[in-house]
Amino acid sequence: MLTHPATFAHGTFTFNAHRNADGTPNAASLSDTVTIDNRTIDPSFRDGRDAYHLGTGGSLGRVHKGMKLIRIDGRIIGPLATQEASVSDKERAMLAAFDPALCYRDSPSTDGAYAFDFSEPTTDTTNYPTGLILCRYYARPMGSPQMIDRLGDAGVRRYALGLIAGDPRCYEQTAQTLVLTPGAATGNVVNRGTVPSPLSVAIVMSGAGASNFTITRGGVAFVLNLTTASNGQTITVVMETCGPYGRGRYITKAGTETFSLKTSAATTWLDVPVGTTSFAITNTTNVTSCTLSWRPARA
């Protein structure tokens, strides 16, 4: 993030334009950029401890991972010919892009969270031939960016801003998919990250389906009643609230909320474990295809 370009989707605001995608200097933008000089990532946790848990033999209690706070600061730099005016233009663009009220107004379905994209270097050139992992948080500004304007430095302005990620996982930018069909009903999904990844499912129908269409992963069965489906309809299942798929678990049929299609236990939902995992579909009457979608995720 510090030595490669980064973008925030709201306002398409770009940091480190003075760097090429591989991190090398971009000579054309060395004096016309917004740098990221420092980054702090602060994950939050909540557990069940109380005074009694501190005694001998006490229990630590359950741990719940909460939101993640991301703080960055750096410099707004303007080109020599128009330094002060260009810096002011960039400041106004930053204030608009990182206005939490505007973010919420423009994307209420995500609570104002937008993609914050950046890249991190890695030695794993087998999975990442460029030596870079393209990363993404789904985050909303914590407040308006702070600006420091110094009289003796009109061509540079310091800034500091914070982002809050309701989903604390760091995702890869490119979604992965696996298409299962009645003729190829089993396949492997690969999560190259370090934590389980949320799963989205799209089932395309050619007519009324079975009452017990089942997606199975490692002995866990997720069951839907598809007898009310019709030709050309798509059933979409989002398995958890998360950055990539928005707020709330939901099931839709042809775009209409139809949670009642789910017949497996209320607590039965699927995710994508770390590593390689086999998924299968059964009872596939009139199922044309079942597409699993996920993004590798990291802590």
Examine residue 1 and state whether it is found in any structural domain, yes or no.
Answer: no
Parent domain of 287: 176-298
Domain shared by 265 and 210, yes or no:
yes
The residue to which tokens 């001998």 are assigned: 56
Residue 23 sits in a domain whose CATH number is 2.40.30
Residue 213 lies in a domain: yes
- The CATH number linked to 261 is 2.60.120.860
Residue 27: predicted pLDDT: 85
CB 60 within 8 Å of CB 53: yes
Dump pLDDT digits (tens) for 22-58.
Answer: 889 998 888 899 999 999 999 888 776 665 556 666 6
Q: Number of C-alpha atoms within 13 angstroms, CB side, residue 89?
A: 10
Among residues 37, 249, 64, the alpha carbon closest in space to that of 168 is found at 64
Please give the tally of structural domains in the chain. Answer: 2
Residues 136 and 188 in one domain: no
Give the count of beta carbons closer than 10 Å to the beta carbon of residue 217.
Answer: 18
Over the chain, what is the mean pLDDT? Answer: 93
Residues 72-113: tens digit of each pLDDT: 999 999 988 898 899 999 999 999 999 999 999 999 989 999
Residue 148's closest CA among 165, 138, 137, 160? 160
User: In tens digits, what is the pLDDT along the chain, a chain of 299 residues?
Assistant: 788 999 999 999 999 999 999 889 998 888 899 999 999 999 888 776 665 556 666 666 778 888 999 999 999 999 888 988 999 999 999 999 999 999 999 999 899 999 999 999 999 999 999 999 999 999 999 999 999 988 777 789 999 999 999 999 999 999 999 999 999 999 999 999 999 999 999 999 999 999 999 999 999 999 999 999 999 999 999 999 899 998 789 999 999 999 999 999 999 999 999 999 999 999 999 999 999 999 999 99
Identify the three-state secondary structure at position 299.
Answer: coil
Domain contains 70: yes
Largest CA distance in the chain: 73
Is 27 inside a domain boundary? yes
116, 191: one domain = no
Decide which of 168, 188, 214 is a domain's last residue. Answer: 168
- Other C-beta atoms closer than 10 Å to the C-beta of 46 total 11
